[in-house]
Amino acid sequence: MTTLEILLERRWILKHREKELYYKVKDDLGRLRPFFMEKLGYQIVVNPYLIKVEKLPARSEAWMGITEFKDKREYVFFCLVLMFLEDAAEQFILSQFTEYIQAQYTEEEIDWTIYLYRRQLIRVLKYCVKTGILTVNDGSEDEFASDGRGEVLYENTGTARYFMRNFTQDIMHYTDPEQFEKEEWIGVDEDRGIVRRQRVYRSLLMTPGLYKDENLEEDFAYIRNQRNFVSAELADYFDCELQVHRNSAFLILGENCRMGRTFPEDNTRSDIVLLFYGLVLEKIHSGEITVGTEEKIMISTERFMEFLELCRKRYRDGFIKTFRDMTTQEFCAEMAEYMLQLGFVRREHGNIRISTAAGKIIGEYPESFLEQGGHDEQ
């Protein structure tokens, strides 16, 4: 991977974990800083502990977040970890932190005899260890998870203070994500196109695609008018190809680009999405699905689940055992969550909007599949 790809993919590079990489990236920052600052509007944090690019999305999406966390309470626990570590000693034990949570958590009473709370806390602490915020010096969280009595000795690495980005003003009165998005652009003349340009580059690099809708008309107009310039500039930094269509734009990565999470992925869920998209295209051609204005594909939630069930029925024998053994309900729930997570479908006014990527990326089994064990719709 190139230094640019590493910086975009990772949260940060920690010196105590990867000293050689830390210095290599630090040496390369001089030539990369203009791209981050001018095209993406990203600040770069460099200190004796770490190197971090403050990566912000063009717009917040439902699928963005810490994938390890499954519940809102885990985000609260994590915020409490960051607060606790501001004044914590270099080393502390788990019971000190559990007592801190009980004292600070005002939404409800946290009872550590309840397994759900212990499991959620352990998930958060393991994430902190994984990212380098904490180091385990002695003990294991598993004993605490099983009976609530185990102890763990943690080391505060000092990196927690850099997890959150710095804000230019007080955010305590903010009530929705849009306020955080607007806060970043305070003092920037949007009419000069700086904000629009940075939103476009962020969307191309940090999301599955850029789609034209009533909220993104200016951004999409920019990419259509500047497509040759944007394409050439991105190609200078990445092995990629910018493809702009009537109502969508995608950055297609080449084989030599190893940046972040891409689609298709090397897993069964990704394969099923391709098969599902092929099924959607088939239904469009047959007239069962109508494509609206601006290439909008909107179906009811019930119809969406029916198509997932049909996809399972038709291609189930080609899935790995885990997916073959799922009930219809389990399969539909699993795939719906995965597609929502990647932004390939989204909920709008009680319906499901299917991304126009359905007409661009599809998959199919060989023609002999149905004859050798696959199923038709009957």
Average pLDDT over residues 350-377: 71
Question: Is the pLDDT confidence value at 377 over 50?
Answer: no
The model's pLDDT over 90-103, given as tens digits with 9 standing for 90+, comes to 999 999 999 999 99
**Which of 242, 229, 241, 235 minimizes the C-alpha distance to 197?**
229
CATH number of 72-162, picked from 1.10.10, 1.10.260, 1.10.3470, 3.30.70: 1.10.10
**Which of 159, 154, 158 minimizes the C-alpha distance to 136?**
154
Structure tokens at 242: 């910018």
Sorted by where each begins, the domain ranges of the chain are: 1-56, 72-162, 193-262, 268-371
b/e burial code for range 9-28 (CB count within 10 A of at least 16 → b): ebebbbbeebeebbeebeee
Alpha-carbon span 89 to 92, nearest angstrom: 6
Alpha-carbon span 375 to 220, nearest angstrom: 41
Structure tokens at 91: 């080393």
134-139: strand order across its sheet: 91-93, 152-156, 134-139
In one letter, which amino acid is 73?
R
Determine which of 57-61, 249-253, 278-282 has the lowest per-residue pLDDT on average: 57-61
Q: What is the DSSP string of 123-135?
A: HHHHHHHHHTSEE
Those residues with Cβ within 8 angstroms of residue 28's Cβ, 6 or more apart along the chain or in another chain: 3
Q: What pLDDT is attached to residue 300?
A: 93
The model's pLDDT over 211-242, given as tens digits with 9 standing for 90+, comes to 777 667 888 889 889 999 999 999 999 888 89
Alpha-carbon span 99 to 178, nearest angstrom: 34
Average pLDDT over residues 36-54: 93
Contact criterion met (CB below 8 Å) for 78 and 121: no
CA-based radius of gyration for the chain: 24
Higher local confidence (pLDDT), 360 or 109? 109
Average pLDDT over residues 200-207: 89
CA 47, chain centre distance (Å): 26
Ramachandran class of 33: left when φ > 0, alpha when ψ lies in -120 to 50, beta otherwise? alpha
**Which of 96, 98, 94 minimizes the C-alpha distance to 137?**
94
Beta bridge partners of 348: 351
CATH topology of domain 268-371: Arc Repressor Mutant, subunit A (1.10.10)
pLDDT category at 190 given cuts 50, 70, 90 is low
Average pLDDT over residues 246-252: 84
b/e burial code for range 189-202 (CB count within 10 A of at least 16 → b): eeeeeebbbbbbbb
Question: Is the pLDDT confidence value at 307 over 70?
Answer: yes
Question: Is the pLDDT confidence value at 188 over 60?
Answer: no
Q: How many CB atoms lie within 10 A of CB 287?
A: 7
Alpha-carbon span 362 to 285, nearest angstrom: 14
Residue 355 to residues 213, 253, 343, Cα–Cα distance (Å): 12, 19, 8
Residue 27 to residues 8, 48, 53, 112, 365, Cα–Cα distance (Å): 16, 14, 15, 47, 47
Q: What pLDDT is attached to residue 189?
A: 57
Contact criterion met (CB below 8 Å) for 242 and 204: yes
Instruction: Report yes or no on whether pTM surpasses 0.75.
Output: yes
Q: What pLDDT is attached to residue 376?
A: 44
The model's pLDDT over 254-293, given as tens digits with 9 standing for 90+, comes to 877 777 777 777 889 999 999 999 999 899 889 888 887 7
Phi, psi values for residue 136, rounded to 5°: -85, 120
The model's pLDDT over 146-174, given as tens digits with 9 standing for 90+, comes to 888 889 999 999 999 999 887 777 888 88
Report the Cα–Cα distance between both ends of the chain, in Å, rounded.
48
Alpha-carbon span 171 to 179, nearest angstrom: 9
In one letter, which amino acid is 197?
R
Q: What pLDDT is attached to residue 94?
A: 95
For the chain, give the percent of residues with pLDDT over 90: 49
Contact criterion met (CB below 8 Å) for 128 and 142: no
Higher local confidence (pLDDT), 206 or 262? 206
Domains 72-162 and 268-371 share a fold: yes
Structure tokens at 186: 């305070």
